[in-house]
């Protein structure tokens, strides 16, 4: 029986002295990693944490976060990684909804953690640096044995409770079982071509499913894992060079931050060690693909499509990248993907419908929300809420979020299609498209645009640019220029916030 707990135990037995984790100045081997996870598991057990209890983590990417993921599993408990950008009342909602008993937090978040003593039913608090009234992490670990705790967990037991971004309401708790996560690790190993020799750099926050899963896959394979505490484009390039990173992943927004560094800065770093590069999360225009290829000349580029509820489910392989620009690839080796209409009927190639997913990587349920769970599944297929199409070769294309579709004069307009055109403009850095009320057409198209540094554009120039490339009913009727687009912590643009700010005439 293979569980998250077993991943680390197996790798520590196989590569005990191999460098496992590197974050800031802290470096530990797999043997040390395994023993420290055991110490935390034994500490939690001594506090009365039982199988199925929830233990929350409020930490930057760090060695302690990595140890927490496995230490919690060693106690038979369920990890609840928290978004550290949330305010105390937002954190309290998740902690109370999940019924978490213990919080492990970094001293950087003491101001957020202090009110949680009163706002939640948490029983114990552990602070990494041991400040204030809460016990220190290292002090706690020193009191317990490095041998394995006695708890036994099964493949179908919950491994993690990951909360969605909550962009359309209260965040939902997504129950990920050990089986879900192990199958995701196996699929990534096969589809991404990673081996135990790779040196892996984790760039995104590990409270998100993408980074969380890539980290677990790296432990599964026995990689040396380098963790960026917070993303910084210069630190990213420094780590790539000094640690000779071979595998990494950036969402497009992160790469744009790297690309916008001065040329002399980018040229000063050696990046030829990178052999595998994964992107996901949003539009990847052709021009951006070329820039990635220029920065990482030896890297095989892959795109993927996923979400908290089903990890990743499609992959666009390097040999298809330029041939199938705009596609997120085919269903991965352990996934089934279909395009269904509202009645659950499968659509023909080229027709737009809802992307539905089935496989061992799909979540068990929404925590304490049976109604939302029932609504999410149709005869075993998870309904993603994303609109897409499949071509004759089985490649999938994301058209848009179902809820973001604009209906103007009876025509369906997909913002993503217009955004892809806007991203080809040489003066535009970022863009988003929303619908606004229109007394004649029902809705009209509005573009929200961020220009590149030092560049200027007019509304008329943007509209004319789109008019030359899109049908008349699709072109923006209005354009608003802003300094930045609001994003969540996975760097996805918050359409809900844009609609609240700019969605009126």
State the Cα–Cα distance between residues 100 and 119, nearest whole angstrom: 12
In a domain, 81, yes or no: yes
For 5-25, write each residue's pLDDT tens digit.
999 999 999 999 999 999 998
Say yes or no: 489 and 412 in one domain. Answer: yes
Say yes or no: 385 and 260 in one domain. Answer: yes
Say yes or no: 410 and 498 in one domain. Answer: yes
Q: Reply yes or no on whether the pLDDT at 458 is more than 70.
A: yes
State the Cα–Cα distance between residues 84 and 108, nearest whole angstrom: 10
Q: Give the containing element (helix H, strand E) for 225.
A: strand 224-227
Six-digit token string for 40? 């935390």
For 104-116, write each residue's pLDDT tens digit.
999 999 999 999 9
Q: What is the pTM of this model?
A: 0.85
Domain boundary among 367, 401, 435: 401
Range of the domain at 370: 231-401
Give the position of tokens 């954190």.
91
What's the chain's average pLDDT?
Answer: 93
Q: How many domains does the chain have?
A: 3
In a domain, 197, yes or no: no
Domain boundary among 360, 377, 401: 401
State the Cα–Cα distance between residues 385 and 371, nearest whole angstrom: 16
Confidence tier at 134 by pLDDT (50, 70, 90):
confident
Confidence tier at 487 by pLDDT (50, 70, 90):
confident
Six-digit token string for 483? 């300094």
**What CATH number does residue 489 fall under?**
3.30.300.30
Query: For 474, which DSSP code?
Result: G
Give 463's contacts (C-beta < 8 A, 6+ positions apart): 475, 476, 477, 479
Say yes or no: 448 and 388 in one domain. Answer: no
Say yes or no: 269 and 382 in one domain. Answer: yes
In a domain, 396, yes or no: yes
Contact 361, 311 (CB under 8 A): yes
**What CATH number does residue 92 fall under?**
3.40.50.12780
Query: For 277, which DSSP code?
Result: E
State the Cα–Cα distance between residues 45 and 43, nearest whole angstrom: 5
Say yes or no: 390 and 472 in one domain. Answer: no
Say yes or no: 70 and 169 in one domain. Answer: yes
Say yes or no: 43 and 166 in one domain. Answer: yes
Domain boundary among 401, 429, 449: 401
Say yes or no: 394 and 413 in one domain. Answer: no
In a domain, 8, yes or no: no
In a domain, 142, yes or no: yes
176-215 in b/e burial notation, b at 16+ Cβ within 10 A? bbbbbbbbbbbbbbebbebeeebbbbbbbbbbbbbbbbbb
In a domain, 225, yes or no: no
Q: Are strands 124-127 and 478-481 parallel, antiparallel or unpaired?
A: unpaired
In a domain, 199, yes or no: no
In a domain, 82, yes or no: yes
């Amino acid at each position: 029986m293979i569980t998250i707990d077993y991943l680390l135990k197996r790798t520590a037995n196989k590569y005990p002295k191999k460098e496992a984790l590197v974050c800031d100045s802290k470096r530990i081997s797999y043997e040390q990693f395994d023993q420290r996870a055991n110490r935390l598991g034994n500490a939690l057990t001594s506090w009365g944490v039982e199988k199925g209890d929830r233990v929350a983590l409020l930490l930057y990417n760090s060695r302690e976060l990595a140890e927490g993921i496995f230490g919690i599993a060693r106690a038979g408990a369920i990890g609840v990684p928290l978004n550290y950008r949330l305010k105390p009342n937002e954190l309290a909602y998740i902690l109370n909804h999940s019924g978490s008993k213990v919080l492990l937090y970094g001293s950087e978040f003491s101001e957020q953690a202090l009110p949680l003593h009163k706002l939640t039913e948490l029983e114990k608090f552990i602070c990494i640096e041991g400040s204030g009234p809460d016990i220190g992490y290292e002090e706690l670990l020193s009191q317990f044995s490095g041998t394995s705790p006695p708890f036994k967990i099964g493949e179908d037991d919950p491994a993690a409770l990951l909360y969605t971004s909550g962009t359309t309401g209260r965040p939902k708790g997504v129950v990920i079982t050990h089986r879900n996560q192990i199958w995701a690790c196996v699929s990534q190993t096969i589809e991404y071509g990673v081996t135990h020799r790779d040196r892996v750099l984790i760039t995104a926050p590990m409270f998100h499913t993408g980074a969380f899963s890539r980290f677990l896959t790296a432990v599964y394979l026995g990689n040396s894992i380098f963790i960026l505490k917070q993303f910084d484009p210069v630190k990213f390039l420094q780590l790539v060079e000094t640690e000779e990173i071979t595998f990494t992943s950036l969402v497009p927004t992160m790469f744009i931050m790297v690309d916008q560094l001065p040329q002399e800065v980018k040229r000063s770093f050696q990046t030829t060690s990178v052999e595998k590069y994964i992107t996901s999360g949003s539009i990847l225009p052709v021009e951006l693909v070329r820039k990635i290829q220029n920065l990482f000349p030896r890297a095989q580029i892959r795109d993927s499509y996923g979400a908290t509820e089903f990890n990743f489910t499609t992959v666009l392989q390097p040999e298809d990248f330029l041939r199938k620009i705009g596609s997120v690839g085919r269903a991965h080796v352990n996934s089934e993907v279909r395009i269904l209409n509202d009645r659950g009927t499968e659509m023909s190639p080229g027709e737009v419908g809802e992307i539905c997913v089935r496989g061992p990587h799909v979540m068990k349920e929404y925590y304490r929300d049976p109604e939302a769970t029932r609504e999410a599944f149709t005869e075993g297929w998870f309904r993603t809420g994303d609109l897409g199409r499949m071509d004759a070769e089985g490649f999938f294309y994301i058209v848009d979020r179902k809820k973001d579709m604009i209906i103007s004069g009876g025509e369906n307009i997909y913002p993503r299609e217009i955004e892809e055109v806007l991203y080809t403009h040489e003066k535009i850095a970022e863009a988003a498209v929303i619908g606004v009320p229109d007394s004649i057409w029902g809705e009209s198209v509005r573009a929200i645009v961020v220009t590149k540094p030092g560049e200027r554009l007019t509304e008329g120039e943007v509209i004319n640019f789109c008019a030359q490339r899109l049908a008349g009913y699709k072109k923006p009727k209005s354009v608003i220029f802003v300094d930045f687009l609001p994003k969540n912590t996975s760097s996805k643009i918050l359409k809900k916030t844009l609609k609240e700010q700019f969605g009126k005439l």
